[in-house]
């Protein structure tokens, strides 16, 4: 077994695939914020695919870490020359391993923010992309407005040349390009938010305008913010994954990535300084992303929420365990058919019925081993974006909401902090304390959890939603998760 780096790269033998291109000839054209598992299983993989075809040699990636927790990735990237192993876990148990070489540099902003800014301000960078999670865009869940009172944002507005946020770093780079007479780069959001490009435009323009109204106008008029939909289930890498990868492929990789075989990227073709030939790697370039992104957010992402809290409360710990239980899959299909699908427009080239059944098959892939704990994390950034729009549209149209309301109730019951066997639950959420405090009041106030208008808006004023929510919450307390799900099939 050998450690993975440039020196050892070509000493590995089949079945591990390695880059067939000269990495020393690559140059970075993209700066990417948020080099986590998903980015490395998705956008970086597509570029590696192009490079293996002799394309996109000047579109390599310079990764950026902003959070203190990114220090570990910085060290791994340094030790492994930005190489890593991507392993696809197929439903039949087979695995395909591939070393990805499209990331050529990694900068850690807390160490040297100016180095990050100058890299983006350089003429070679034409795209700045983002996978900073649903919570990374600093907007109010109900109003959708930029939160100018965020302490880090306040700091960056006062100290624009010493930023600590993604907004501050990127906006300072744009300001320098403007001063130097350079065209702006494209900002490409790849996060699971409806209209992710539109949201990014609003947030970055708002920040820039707060800093300098003229700069805000320049960003609004000159920077491109394409929308896109991204999809690939990518669980957290475990020590077991590292060990099995070392055993099967003979490579010692401190931070490999594992994922399912499915992949999809639907991208609006709107770039100001060009782009890689993504279509040659299987990316769908379209004029309107919205039908695809709503399909994914309201069917896949919301169904993840539909299985994770119920399943965890019932004692399951992996997504495949839940989705190998027919009662839960029937519930998920009923949610998708009766509540989510009526809120969707036709999706060009997609058979929605086949897509929904394919989702169940993907969820049930036991080799991916996607944990329910991962799906339950950061719910306050996910439920308002993925599920509550379905509730609101069906309330307006008179459509069904019982299953969606039950999913919200399952989140509330999960936030109480113990499963049905009395085992403690670790709540991973930026709002974990207020969520737990609200859930603790359920014995005397069944509406305590949904009374938070910062998360739920006016849903507490909707009698039909309140009735369905309370009915599900009562059932969860009295009969448990599985019986509640069965009653809603």
CATH number reported for the structural domain that contains residue 56 in this entry: 3.40.50.720
Mean pLDDT check: name the lowest of 62-76, 128-142, 384-398.
Answer: 128-142
Token readout for 408 is 């919200």
Distance between CA atoms of residues 488 and 403, nearest Å = 7
Using left for φ > 0, alpha for ψ between -120 and 50, and beta otherwise, residue 165 falls in beta
Task: Express as a percent the part of the chain with pLDDT over 90.
Answer: 97
329 and 254 fall within a common domain: no
123 and 35, same domain (yes or no): yes
pLDDT reported for residue 14? 80
392 and 299 assigned to the same domain: yes
The band of 204, judged by pLDDT with boundaries at 50, 70 and 90, is very high
What pLDDT, in 10s, does the model give residues 296-318?
999 999 999 999 999 999 999 99
Please tell me the least confidently modeled range out of 124-128, 135-139, 342-346.
135-139
CATH code where residue 444 lies: 1.10.1040.10
How far is Cα 217 from Cα 230, in angstroms, rounded to an integer? Answer: 29
Last residue of a domain, one of 218, 251, 286: 286
Res 28 pLDDT > 90: yes
pLDDT (0 to 100) of residue 167: 97
Query: Does 324 lie in the same domain as 282?
Result: no
pLDDT at 235: 96
450-484 per-position pLDDT tens digit: 999 999 999 999 999 999 999 999 999 999 999 99
Considering the domain architecture, whether residues 312 and 185 belong to the same structural domain is answered as no
pLDDT at 142: 79
Same domain assignment for residues 77 and 219? yes
The most distant pair of C-alpha atoms in the chain lies apart, rounded to whole Å, by 66
Q: Which two tokens stand for residue 19?
A: 């880059």
pLDDT at 263: 98
371-387 average pLDDT score: 96
Alpha-carbon gap, residue 407 to 383, rounded angstroms: 9
The Cα 192–Cα 231 span in angstroms is: 9
- The parent domain of residue 7 ranges over 2-286
Residue-level pLDDT at 1: 87
- Closest C-alpha among 239, 255, 210, 248 to residue 73: 255
Pairing mode, strands 95-100 and 103-108? unpaired
Same domain? 37 vs 124: yes
pLDDT at residue 215, as a whole number: 98
Give the count of beta carbons closer than 10 Å to the beta carbon of residue 270.
Answer: 17
pLDDT of res. 141 = 73
Would you call the peptide bond into 234 cis, given omega within 30 degrees of 0 as the criterion? no
Residue 416: per-residue pLDDT: 98
- Give this prediction's pTM: 0.93
Quick one: which of 317, 484, 311 has its CA closest to 405?
484
- Indicate the number of domains in the chain: 2
Q: Please check whether residue 104 is in contact with residue 29, taking contact to mean a CB–CB distance below 8 angstroms.
A: no
| SS3 at position 459 | helix
- pLDDT at residue 52 is higher than 80: yes
Give the total residue count for the chain: 489
SS3 label, residue 265 = strand
Mean pLDDT (the chain) is 97
CA distance 98 to 257: 10
In the numeric block, which tokens belong to residue 216?
């805000």
Handedness of CA 304, 306, 309, 310 (dihedral sign): negative
Q: What does the alpha-carbon distance between residue 152 and residue 451 come to, in Å, rounded to a whole number?
A: 28
Out of 218, 252, 286, pick the residue that ends a domain.
286
**The pLDDT of residue 428 is above 90:** yes
Q: Which of 286, 308, 337 is the last residue of a domain?
A: 286
Q: Is 326 buried (19+), middle (13-18) or exposed (0-12) by CB count in 10 A?
A: exposed
Same domain as 315, residue 429 = yes
pLDDT score, position 135: 86
pLDDT tens-digit series, residues 4-24:
999 999 998 889 999 999 999
Eight-state DSSP code of residue 109: T
Q: Long-range pairs for 451-458 at CB < 8 Å and ≥24 separation?
A: 453/142, 454/140, 454/141, 454/142, 455/141, 455/142, 455/380, 455/383, 455/384, 455/431, 456/384, 456/388, 457/141, 457/142, 457/388
Q: Which of 385, 379, 375 is nearest to 457 (CA)?
A: 385
Please tell me the predicted confidence (pLDDT) of residue 159: 96
Backbone angles phi, psi at 137, to 5 degrees: -105, 0
8 A C-beta contact, residue 86 and residue 114 = no
Taking a C-beta distance cutoff of 8 angstroms, is the pair 50, 61 a contact?
A: no
Mean predicted confidence (pLDDT) in 289-294: 96
Q: Is the dihedral of CA 232, 233, 239, 241 positive or negative?
A: negative
Cβ-in-10-Å burial (0-12, 13-18, 19+) of 345 comes to exposed
Bridge partners of residue 85, in order along the sequence: 99
Question: pLDDT tens across 318-359, in order?
Answer: 999 999 999 999 999 999 999 999 999 999 999 999 999 999
pLDDT at 143 over 90: no
Same domain assignment for residues 244 and 295: no
Name the pLDDT band for 134 (thresholds 50, 70, 90).
confident
Residues 6+ apart with CB under 8 A from 467: none
Q: Are residues 96 and 206 in the same domain?
A: yes
Residues 84 and 59 both lie in one domain: yes
Strand partners, 257: 86
Query: Could you report the per-residue pLDDT of 256-268, keeping only the tens digit for each?
Result: 999 999 999 999 9
> Do residues 190 and 173 share a domain?
yes
In angstroms, rounded to a whole number, what is the distance separating the alpha carbons of residues 59 and 323? 39
Closest residue by Cα to residue 302 from 199, 368, 394, 365 = 394
Question: Can you tell me the distance from the alpha carbon of 481 to that of 473, in angstroms, rounded to the nearest whole number?
Answer: 10
**CA 44 vs CA 83, 102, 249, 419: distances in Å:** 11, 6, 21, 38
């Amino acid at each position: 077994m050998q450690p993975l780096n440039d020196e050892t790269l070509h000493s590995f033998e089949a079945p591990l695939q390695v880059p067939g291109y000269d990495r020393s000839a690559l140059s970075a054209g993209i700066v990417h914020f948020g080099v986590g598992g998903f980015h490395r299983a998705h956008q970086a993989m597509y570029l590696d695919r192009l490079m293996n075809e002799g394309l996109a040699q000047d579109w390599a990636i310079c990764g950026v870490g902003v959070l203190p927790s990114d220090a570990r990735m910085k060290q791994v990237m340094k030790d492994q020359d930005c190489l890593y192993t991507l392993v696809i876990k197929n439903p039949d148990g087979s695995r395909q391993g591939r070393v990805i070489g499209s990331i050529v540099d990694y900068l850690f902003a807390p160490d040297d923010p100016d180095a990050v800014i100058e890299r983006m301000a350089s003429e070679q960078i034409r795209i700045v992309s983002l996978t900073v999670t649903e919570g990374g865009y600093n907007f109010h869940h109900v109003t959708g407005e930029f939160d100018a009172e965020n302490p880090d944002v306040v700091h960056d507005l006062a100290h624009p040349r010493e930023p600590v946020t993604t907004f501050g770093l990127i906006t300072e780079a744009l300001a320098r390009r403007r001063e130097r007479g350079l065209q702006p780069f494209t900002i490409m959001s790849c996060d699971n938010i409806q209209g992710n490009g539109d949201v990014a435009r609003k947030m970055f323009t708002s920040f820039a305008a707060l800093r300098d109204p003229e700069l805000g106008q320049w960003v609004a008029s000159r920077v491109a913010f394409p929308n896109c939909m991204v999809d690939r289930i990518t669980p957290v890498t475990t020590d077991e994954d590292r060990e099995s990868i070392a055993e099967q492929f003979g490579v010692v990789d401190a931070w490999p990535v594992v994922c399912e075989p499915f992949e999809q990227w639907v991208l609006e073709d709107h770039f100001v300084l060009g782009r890689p030939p993504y279509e040659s790697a299987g990316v769908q370039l379209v004029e309107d992303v919205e039908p695809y992104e709503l399909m994914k957010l309201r069917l896949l992402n919301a169904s993840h929420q539909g299985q994770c809290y119920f399943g965890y409360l019932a004692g399951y710990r992996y997504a495949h365990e839940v989705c190998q239980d027919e009662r839960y899959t029937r519930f998920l299909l009923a949610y998708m058919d009766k509540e989510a699908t009526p809120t969707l427009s036709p999706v060009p080239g997609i058979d929605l019925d086949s897509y929904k059944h394919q989702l169940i098959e993907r969820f049930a892939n036991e080799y991916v081993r996607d944990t329910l704990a991962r799906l339950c994390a950061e719910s306050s950034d996910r439920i308002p974006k993925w599920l509550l729009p379905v509730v609101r549209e069906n309330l307006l149209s008179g459509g069904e909401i019982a299953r969606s309301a039950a999913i919200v109730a399952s989140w509330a019951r999960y936030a109480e902090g113990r499963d049905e066997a009395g085992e403690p639950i670790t709540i991973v959420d930026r709002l974990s304390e207020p969520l737990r405090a609200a859930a603790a009041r359920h014995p005397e106030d069944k509406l305590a959890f949904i009374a938070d208008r910062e998360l739920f808006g006016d849903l507490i004023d909707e009698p039909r939603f309140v009735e369905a929510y309370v009915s599900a919450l009562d059932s969860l307390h009295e009969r448990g998760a599985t019986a509640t799900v069965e009653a809603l099939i």
